[in-house]
Structure 1
Amino acid sequence: MDDRNPGCELDLGWISQVRVNLPAVNRRAINIQTRKAVKNEWQAAWLLRAVTCIDLTTLSGDDTWVNVQRLCRKAANPVSKDILDVILSDSTGNSDKLKITTAAVCVYPSRVHDACVALTALRADDKVKIASVATGFPTGQCPLKTRLEEIRYAVEMGANEIDVVLDRSLVLEHKWQELYQEVQQMKEACGERAHMKTILAVGDLGSFSNVYKASLVAMMAGSDFIKTSTGKEGVNATLPVGVVMCRAIADYYHRMNYRVGFKPAGGIRTAKDALNWLFLIKEELGTEWLNSHLFRIGASALLTDIERQLFHYASKGRYAAAHEFVSS
């Protein structure tokens, strides 16, 4: 994610050619979900990779400085040293040699400064990114001027990633030119420093064809990532929609020779869920996408279950209560 997506001219011909084979998409998703799971040290390795791709999130109406500080502390030390020492004993023998953090914390614009202060105090500001939702999250139902100002404010406060929300009505009405122009302006508002993730809110788009087309428009307009959901819709990240979005990303890469990142978010709560998404990315996009520069998981509760599974491996079969891993 060091190089930002330059985008391209809006190609309405490309968009008009989009066709989605729904039965094939569903079969592909079922194939991912029903395959035999990886076990033992292989599972532990995949789960550690998942941890490094998490955008640890708090987007609640009662967020306070304390909530954000706790979130940042967990992001900087997501897996206990005791567990890491056991997992890594066959290789490095010392978890200090492998610095595991989450990829980012994700907060509201008004909490970006709190996250900056907390991560600086933890000396993790160079490892953990600060992502801020913006543009009238979660609905996007604000005047464009207001949405752009919110982006600029979040960047000014210290955010280096911005998760913007599409105006879903433009997708439903197939106003691709207007959608393209809005996303372009959002990218411009991010400035030279912040990368932009575009939230499609797939549960509100009506069809997989609309998801594919909206993905293409967002990428043409310069989105560095495309993201499934705000987490507030009735339907959020599902594997079938992941298949559709990953194939749009592959399509864009083959035509434009630029890798756009992918972020599923909403409803991803278990280690098994995380593994399914990692397998999907590996098989649909390739190992080049299996890192925090090109793949993120938006989640708040997922990390707890992953740490429980890692504890189970490290302790040779004992499970701990979930509450033991809620805070660092």
Structure 2
Amino acid sequence: MSMEQDVTMDITAASGTAIAPAARAVEVIGTDLTERSLRRYLEGIAGVDAVGLEARAAGLGTRSIKKESKAWALDKVISLIDLTTLEGADTPGKVRSLAAKAKVPDANDLSTPQVAAVCVYGDMVPYAVTALGAAHAGARSDGGGVNVAAVATAFPSGRASRSVKLADTVDAVAAGADEIDMVIDRGAFLSGRYGQVFDEIVAVKEACKRVDGSYAHLKVILETGELSTYDNVRRASWLAILAGGDFIKTSTGKVSPAATLPVTLSMLEVVRDWHRLTGEQVGVKPAGGIRTSKDAIKYLVTVAETVGEEWLQPHLFRFGASSLLNDVLLQRQKLATGHYSGSSYVTID
């Protein structure tokens, strides 16, 4: 896209049809969408009071859950987890094992809720879909079940051509992925090339289209650990939502720091402001580093206090985690039996 070329023209030339996110962005920004107008809008967003943000996050992190509510909170956390394996050594067998745990997190207590999704690399999607079977959300008509999420767009670095990123997305959706977790080009964002990042998100969103005309949900990973400042996190959040992201996600889990409470609070505030502006609901997914039920409950409180309890549903909030589930299961067993079980009482992911 040239410096002054209308983004909608660029997208129309690529896809042959007008793209709704571009039209929505024009409506929100209030002028033709160009690199200059997009930059002016994003850089005009009020800066973040870092001291105030961190103080509020710290205060929310001290809120306690009453004993009678803890069982509800633990079950809620489980229902919001994207059970994840994103290793180079992943095998079909490991994915099948993960899917089995997603369906039945605790074989000794079948009242334990299922997780929200299994998150894998794109080439592992067919194994996850098959292993979930009737539990796969795509195989059900009741709106329940476990989704399959696939990381795409040259995860985790995002360093690939756009054609490769789009092919990565198309392949995962064709294989049965219900959700796509894409990474933004952090180099382009940090260089101020907001139009390039916008265009890419819109193009990936279009690549999420299924043959029946529906779309896989798109989670846009900001990799907040590389964005360095809360102001950048806020701008990147607005940019991702303007471009049509269904979720904004903190991290790949491969960069430190990953999810933090202040960063997640900042993103939730953007989602709150977007909802007030447009009436639309966008999801938030903190990912990486959330390992204990105690920490997870802090996030539940932060969500409820910032955007409302309505967001505590799988289509609006997720935890990206691999080890969190085991700790929550042990805490759940403690509530049921009155004593802590050893780690051998939960399966190794």
Query: Does the aligned pair in 1 maintain the 2:249–2:286 contact within 8 Å?
Result: yes
Residue deviations 1:84-122, cap 9 Å, x none? 6xxxxxxxxxx4xxx721000000001000001101166
The amino acid of 1:74's aligned partner reads K
Indicate which of 77, 89, 92 corresponds to 1:50: 77
Quote the residue 1:179 is aligned against: 197
Indicate which of 124, 128, 146 corresponds to 1:111: 124
Quote the residue 2:171 is aligned against: 153
User: Please, what TM-score do these two structures have when normalized by structure 2?
Assistant: 0.85
Deviation at 1:143, TM superposition (A): 0.8
Give the SS at the match of 1:9: helix
User: Please, what TM-score do these two structures have when normalized by structure 1?
Assistant: 0.90
Indicate which of 94, 102, 116 corresponds to 1:75: 102
Give the SS at the match of 2:82: strand
Quote the residue 1:144 is aligned against: 162
Matching of residues 97-246 of structure 1 within 5 Å: 100-120=113-133, 125-126=139-140, 127-191=145-209, 192-246=214-268
Q: Does 1:283 align with 2:283?
A: no
Residue deviations 1:225-277, cap 9 Å, x none? 00000000011000010111011111111112100000000001000111011
Q: Does 1:323 align with 2:349?
A: no
Quote the residue 2:332 is aligned against: 310
Q: Distance in 2 between matches of 1:217 and 1:123?
A: 31
Cα 1:15–1:65 shift into 2, 3 Å: same
49-58 or 115-124, which deviates more = 115-124
Deviation at 1:16, TM superposition (A): 2.2
Q: Does 1:250 align with 2:277?
A: no
Q: How many pairs are equivalent?
A: 308
Cα 1:182–1:122 shift into 2, 3 Å: closer
Q: Distance in 1 between matches of 2:230 and 2:263?
A: 7
- Structure of higher RCO (CA pairs closer than 8 Å, 6+ residues apart): 1
Query: Does the aligned pair in 1 maintain the 2:61–2:302 contact within 8 Å?
Result: no
Query: Does the aligned pair in 2 maintain the 1:70–1:327 contact within 8 Å?
Result: no
Matching of residues 283-302 of structure 1 within 5 Å: 283-302=305-324
Quote the residue 2:16 is aligned against: none
- Identical aligned residues as a percent: 41
Q: Distance in 2 between matches of 1:100 and 1:129?
A: 14
Q: Distance in 1 between matches of 2:68 and 2:230?
A: 37
Query: Does the aligned pair in 1 maintain the 2:136–2:147 contact within 8 Å?
Result: no
Deviation at 1:41, TM superposition (A): 3.0
Q: Distance in 2 between matches of 1:258 and 1:122?
A: 29
Specify every segment of 5 or more residues in structure 2 that has no aligned partner in the other structure, as ranges: 1-18, 30-37
Indicate which of 34, 57, 61 corresponds to 2:62: 34
Cα 1:142–1:260 shift into 2, 3 Å: same
Cα 1:46–1:6 shift into 2, 3 Å: farther
Cα 1:67–1:193 shift into 2, 3 Å: same
Query: Does the aligned pair in 2 maintain the 1:131–1:161 contact within 8 Å?
Result: yes
Deviation at 1:180, TM superposition (A): 0.8
